[in-house]
């Protein structure tokens, strides 16, 4: 049986009212024996998952050991990035693999994008209700 889970949008800016809410998902990232619970922005317009540099370091990743370079676009085009594979865990759902572009950028949110978060999960946004729902792929 596939379980769906609902989450509330998180308020990031009180001054702009309802527009100040975004779909941040609480997720635990795991690398070997290191784990970190963070909030990742669900971004259906992002091609890839993006891991900020400081979170990768907290998970025990070493920049010099990552040998696959990646090119990001947009606001992150000027930053180096490397491919890394982590395990993700959301509440009582089964763990899953997440591929990230680990970027040298630090003042950004963890981004969950098309490759591969939206490949692993169906996501329904209920923006008017400030809710979203995720369902693992079958």
Q: Are strands 49-51 and 34-42 parallel, antiparallel or unpaired?
A: unpaired
Helices (H), 38-131: 53-58, 117-120
Name the residue range of residue 86's domain. Answer: 24-122
> Residue 133 domain-assigned?
no
In this predicted structure, the answer to whether residue 47 has a pLDDT above a threshold of 70 is yes
Say what the pTM is: 0.94
Our count of domains for the chain comes to 1
Tell me the per-residue pLDDT of 95-114, one tens digit each, with 9 for 90 and over.
999 999 999 998 999 999 99
> Residue 77 domain-assigned?
yes
Tell me the per-residue pLDDT of 11-40, one tens digit each, with 9 for 90 and over.
999 999 999 999 999 999 999 999 999 999
> Residue 109 domain-assigned?
yes
> Residue 104 domain-assigned?
yes
> Residue 74 domain-assigned?
yes
Residue 115 burial by Cβ neighbours in a 10 Å radius (0-12, 13-18, 19+): middle
CATH number at residue 60: 2.40.70.10
């Amino acid at each position: 049986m596939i379980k769906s889970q609902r989450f509330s949008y998180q308020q990031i800016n009180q001054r702009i009212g309802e527009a100040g809410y975004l779909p941040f998902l609480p997720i635990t990232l795991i690398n070997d024996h290191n784990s970190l619970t963070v909030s990742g922005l669900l971004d259906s317009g992002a091609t890839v998952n993006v891991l900020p540099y400081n979170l990768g370091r907290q998970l025990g990743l070493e920049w010099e050991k990552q040998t696959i370079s990646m090119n990001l676009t947009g606001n992150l085009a000027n930053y180096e990035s490397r491919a890394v594979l982590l395990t993700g865990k959301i509440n009582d759902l089964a763990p899953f693999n997440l591929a990230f572009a680990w970027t040298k950028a630090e003042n950004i949110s963890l981004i969950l994008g098309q490759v591969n978060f939206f490949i692993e999960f169906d996501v329904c946004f209920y923006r008017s209700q400030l809710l979203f729902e995720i369902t693992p792929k079958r």
